Amino acid sequence: MRQLVFATNNRHKLDEVAAKVGSQIKLLTLNDIGCDEDIPETGHTFRENAAIKSHYIYQKYKLDCFGDDSGLEVDALNGEPGVYSARYAGTHGDHEANMDKVLAKLASETKRKARFRTVISLIWNGEEHFFEGTVEGTIRHERAGAQGFGYDPIFQPDGYDITFAEMSMEEKNSISHRARAVEKLIGFLSLGH
């Protein structure tokens, strides 16, 4: 069985991806390979940040790997928070403050179209490949649901009347931006590359 390092220690992301990958590939985390460094995300796009992570792991450990970067893009905010989604309100990973900032900026806005976007950079047999997934939706006026993480309680995907945070992991995984990018990644790997 081939091993593949996912350049993350984020349990939520890992669970989402592991559910999609199944048994064809053994998925390893940064902890599994003894990497405890905090890989800096200094890129200005999701693609740049994803590539920074995968290149870091590949150059240091010489293992097949992939990194991802994702975030929320709100049309009325000119694509913000974008690559700054995790630290939009200042502190990295303060989901409540990040949601508060988005809701405050959209307080008088009627057009609330948004999307989640994920870009994956895979290094496989020494070659880099990119995969992208998006899910369109709108930003709700208030939080709903207790599942998921990040902006899930305020994001309602198109075609649904509930937020990501009101969905089961299985339901969210069937339509999420990360799931769509991972499906493309798995499709590539299953072609026998």
- 109-168 pLDDT tens trace: 999 999 999 999 999 999 999 999 999 999 999 999 999 889 999 999 999 999 999 999
User: Residue 192 — very low, low, confident or very high, per pLDDT cuts 50/70/90?
Assistant: low
Residue in the structure block whose two tokens are 């970067």: 69
Number of domains making up the chain = 1
9 is in an annotated binding site: yes
Torsion angle of C-alpha atoms 53, 59, 62, 66, degrees rounded to 10: 20
Active site residues: 69
HSE-CB at 57 with a 13 A cutoff on CA atoms is 31
Is the pTM higher than 0.75? The answer reads yes
Structural domain for 89, as ranges? 2-190
118 is in an annotated binding site: no
Task: Assign residue 43 the CATH number of its domain.
Answer: 3.90.950.10
CA–CA dist 133, 116 (Å, integer): 8
Residue 22's region, left for phi above 0, alpha for psi from -120 to 50, else beta, is left
- Would you give the distance in Å from CA 186 to the centre of its chain? 16
12 is in an annotated binding site: yes
- Integer CA distances (angstroms), 175 to 64, 105, 165, in order: 26, 27, 13
